[in-house]
């Protein structure tokens, strides 16, 4: 977190990774420790992959994480720097959409 208490991280779209194949092998291996530790926040899942938030702390740390992921072949459009608050809002929106579809 930075001095304002904002936690920054990266939003990673697996669907885009698996659709292009760019960096897919590296990504699957890299995500595993995040999942096991419970630090990765799943924002949504579909048959072709998920959308994940990985916490980074300060904004410059999150930017470093994004650049590191991209350096392993993942397309830059699949990785975005964002805040935990935005990630949580996206997750909540996806959950509400799923509930609406279930009740229809």
What residues does each domain of the chain span? 8-103
What was the pLDDT predicted at 96? 87
Residues 57-93 pLDDT 10s: 999 999 999 999 999 999 999 999 999 999 999 999 9
Tokens standing for residue 40 = 């990765």
Residue 64 burial (C-beta neighbours within 10 Å; 0-12, 13-18, 19+): middle
Please tell me the least confidently modeled range out of 25-34, 58-67, 93-102: 93-102
- pTM recorded for the entire structure: 0.86
């Amino acid at each position: 977190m930075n001095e304002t208490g904002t936690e920054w991280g990266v939003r990673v779209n697996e669907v885009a990774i698996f659709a292009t194949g760019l960096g897919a092998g590296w990504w699957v291996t890299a995500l595993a420790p995040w999942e096991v530790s419970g630090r990765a926040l799943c924002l949504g899942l579909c048959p072709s992959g998920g959308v994940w938030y990985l916490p980074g702390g300060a904004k410059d740390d999150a930017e470093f994480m994004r650049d590191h992921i991209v350096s392993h072949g993942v397309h830059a459009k699949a990785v975005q720097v964002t805040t935990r608050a935005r990630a949580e809002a996206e997750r909540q929106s996806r959950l509400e959409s799923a509930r609406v579809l279930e009740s229809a």
